[in-house]
Amino acid sequence: MTFDNLPEYIKLYKKFLLSEYDSQISFIRSGLFDLLNKNSKKNFSSLITYQDLEEFITGMPTLDLSLLRENTITDPYDPNSKVILNFWKALESFSEEERSLYLKFVSGRTRLPDSRSINFTHKIQRLNKRNPDDYMPTSTTCYFTLNLPNYSTYEILRDKLRYVIHNCNSIDADFVPDEGADQFDEQI
């Protein structure tokens, strides 16, 4: 390189920088499209937007309650029982953020999977307790299951469900509240 050929050098260097990962990107693109085409009813060989790709990988950004309802099993509850109707009414009253918290509570995810490529089943099971109004709902994230007591009123169901989604964010009791407490005491 000399001062005389500096513009040519810069041009070639820029071209090199812009294309230096072309081979790796080509392999990633090829693998991604193979994966998407195998796991989807939609043909991704055509041009897709980043929004399509994001939704395919991370799920839908908002909770589609009708889709969740279609994929929900309420055994042994009857789908038209008072507690199940109150459950759906409560979810409808929740904000988008609370619906996302509900998904996290029952599945460990904050978004529903892309229904075009993954079949899922959301279960609501009865949590049998003598005085159901005294108990909180629980979940089993591995099975996308809500264990729901047979609450006597809509208000009790809504309030208890809202409480657990806001305050019980450990996944299947993986969180230990005292973890790190000793470290904090040492710092004082």
Q: Would you name the residues annotated as active-site residues?
A: 142
Beta bridge partners of 92: none
What is the helix (H) or strand (E) element at residue 85, kind and residue range? helix 82-93
HSE-up of residue 130 (Cα within 13 Å, Cβ side): 0
CB 106 within 8 A of CB 145: yes
Query: What kind and span of H or E run contains 135?
Result: none
Cα 8 to Cα 12, 14, 22: the distances in Å are 6, 10, 22
